[in-house]
Each structure stands twice: as C-alpha cells, then as structure tokens.
Amino acid sequence: MEITSYSMNWHYPTAMRVGAGRIRELGKSCKQLGMKAPLLVTDPGLAAMTMVEEALQNCRDAGLQVGLFSSIKGNPTGGNVADGVAALKAGGHDGVIAFGGGSAIDAAKAVALIAHQTCTLWEAGPATVDASKMLPVVAVPTTAGTGSEVGQAVVITDDENHVKRPIFHLKMVPGIVILDPELTLGLPAKLTAATGMDALAHNLEAYCTPVYHPMAEGVALEGMRLVKEFLPRATANGQDVDARQQMLVASSMGAVAFQRGLGAIHAVSHSLGALYDSHHGLLNAIVMPYVLVANRAAIEPEMQRLARYLDLPTAGFEGVLEWVLALRAELQIPHTLAEIGMDDTQAELVGKMSAKDVAARTNALKFDAGQYQQLFLNALRGVL
C-alpha cells in the first residue's frame, strides 16, 4: 500500500491513571485540573448503579460541589448535548467528569467543548472554538471499546438530519484519564464482546489506512494482539480483572492509533447507526470481514505482517480473515446485518451516506456510493 504523504501532524494522548482501584483518585484528579464544581455526565443505566454514587461521594469527600447529568442516548444526539450544557450552566459547574461508555464520554466531551462558545455544536472546530473557554475533563471509561477517553473527537447524531457528525479539536482530549478495570466487571458478556470488537476495529482500520504514521501503526499492532489474547477471556469470565485491564488499554490504544485514520468499517457503521440507532461496536463487528475482503487488493502486505505478529496458524490475508471470523463466532457476534433486523430498503441511502462519511477518506481503497451500497448488501446477506 502506497503512503499518500510524508507530511503529517502527530499527536499523542494525556495523563493516564491505570490500575484497579484508581477510581478513588477521582476527586483528586478533578482538583488537579482546577475544578471546584464538576458535572458528572453518564448514561441512565450507570446513573442508577452503585459505582456512580461512590464516584460522586468521592468527589464530595474531596470538597467538590459535584452534580449529575444522565440524559444520554446510546447514540448521543445534539439534543442530549444541549440538555447537558443547560444542566452544567444551571448548576454553576466548572468542569466535566465523563463517566461511562463511548456514548457518555463523547457527550460529556461535547458539553465541555461547547458550553461557553459562541458557535453552535455543528459549527465547532479548530477555527471556530475558543480553546480558552473549553472546560477541563476527567474521563473514566466503564467499557473497553471506543477509546474516546484519549480521543480528539466525538461523534454526535444530528437528530434533525439523521446523520452522525464527527467534531474535532486537539484540546478535546481529557486532561486526566482513569482506567480502572473494576468499573468494567459488571458489563454483560454481549456488551463486552461488542465493545471489544469496536476496539479491534479501531486498531485494525488504523493499521490498514494509507497514512504515514509508523508510531500509530505500531500501537495498532500491539492493540490487536491484546484483543486477540484478552477479549475472549473478558467475555467468558467478566470477573477476570487482568483481562478487563488489558482490554481497557487495548481500547485506548485503538483511539491513539486512529489518529492515522479509519476506513470503510466506520463509514458504513456510522451510516447504519444514524439510520437504525444500532450499537456502534456491534455494527463494526458485523461489517468488519466484508470490508477486509473489499479492501484485500490494497492491504495484502499489511495482512502478512499482522498474521505474523499475531502468530496466526494461517499466513497472510486468509489467516487474518479466518481469525476475525472465528473470533466473531466465539463471541456470538451475528454474521449478517439481517440477523439484527436490517433489510435492503435503505441500501442506496446507506451507500451515499457512507461515501460521504469522514472515515471513508482514509479507507485503504477509494469506494464510491455504489460500491458502499454493495458492501452494505454483502454484509446484509452474508456474501464474503
């Protein structure tokens, strides 16, 4: 695969507190970033759990005037972000704790980004945002999938136009991240599998994209090795703290690696998520082998190296494809989009949306709308 350019800007992540029990440092971390009254942003399911109340109490014990906002959908919307901003301003909050899976963390980062700006959320970017008005963020992931805790972007659904919109800013990376595997022990097996496959998709697409970033390429390789070794363990035994910790790290590594770019897996899953409101990680997992096959002509050398690094029994592209299919089967991931209730009625629209998606820009091959439509139909019908 030919590198498109040797002129790049490279950025790596942030301060990270890694290990079991590190959530006890939440209040201290908020104070380190200058917060006196943080708003903890999470989803409704987590808000009802003991871990959130314990996190809030930890902040209170540190002398912080902490608040809670939890009106976040599985695919966070612009309306969710607006409601979060309203809650932040009403409570006089001066920072944000992003607590939960990728949806909650994305929404929380968006709230911290836009709360005191003059531009709208959809206008936000490096040229329109006043970075001095962005609020500090401590991120606490409770799933091992998106890696949003170390990302410079969020993906928010424009609920009026039914499209997912990525929003970028270099300073959107949280100031402190707490990776505590004990917070992930209660995650059900199906969500562990789907979020873990999301981490794999990030590392895999970053590895395959034709952008010059050898450091990110190396991070992606090791991230995939961690997924190979530890995702089956974490899914089979949710109390395996070591496997949970390693998957949290693999997830963060995926988000570091995809500074290099993503590709057609995400282009299609973004479109389907906006149209069908389906789980992002599950969509990535289902679409993954179909995109590998579509990209094969451009990624053969990368697959040769990946198969060697993962010590797969079969060499090259065939070995990687066999591994992905076997991993999905072991994790009980559906093989087709039809199995999760989709049909071909919006196939043309999926093709058009996918071709326009920002992730399509760095796919290993350039696909047009018709090719994306066919890719979707292949994933719908199980045609490899």
Domain 15-184 falls under CATH 3.40.50.1970: yes
What is the pLDDT, as a whole number, of residue 164? 82
pLDDT at 14 (0 to 100): 87
Helix, strand, or coil here: 323?
A: helix
Q: Is pLDDT of 160 > 90? A: no
How far apart (Å, rounded) are the C-alpha atoms in residues 239 and 53?
21
Q: What is the pLDDT of residue 4?
A: 54
Q: Sheet containing 67-69: which strands, arranged edge to edge?
A: 15-18, 176-179, 137-141, 95-100, 38-41, 67-69
189-381: CATH topology: Dehydroquinate synthase-like, alpha domain (1.20.1090)
- Lowest mean pLDDT: which of 109-123, 158-172, 177-191? 158-172
User: Which tens digit of pLDDT belongs to each residue from 241-292?
Assistant: 999 999 999 999 999 999 899 999 999 999 999 899 899 999 999 999 999 9
Q: How far apart are CA 328 and CA 275, in angstroms?
A: 24
Whether residue 8 has pLDDT greater than 80: no
Radius of gyration over alpha carbons of the chain, in Å? 20
Instruction: Please check whether residue 96 is in contact with residue 41, taking contact to mean a CB–CB distance below 8 angstroms.
Output: yes
Residue 151 CA to residue 172 CA, distance in Å, equals: 7
pLDDT band at 83 (very low <50, low <70, confident <90, very high): very high
In the predicted structure, residue 356 carries a pLDDT above the cut 90: yes
The residue-averaged pLDDT of 94-116 equals 96
What are the tens digits of pLDDT across the range 21-54?
Answer: 999 999 999 999 999 999 999 999 999 999 999 9
Q: Name the percent of the chain in helix, strand, coil, to the closest 5.
A: 60, 10, 30
Question: Residue 1: is its pLDDT beyond 60?
Answer: no
Mean pLDDT (whole number) for 295-320? 98
Domain boundaries, the chain: 15-184, 189-381
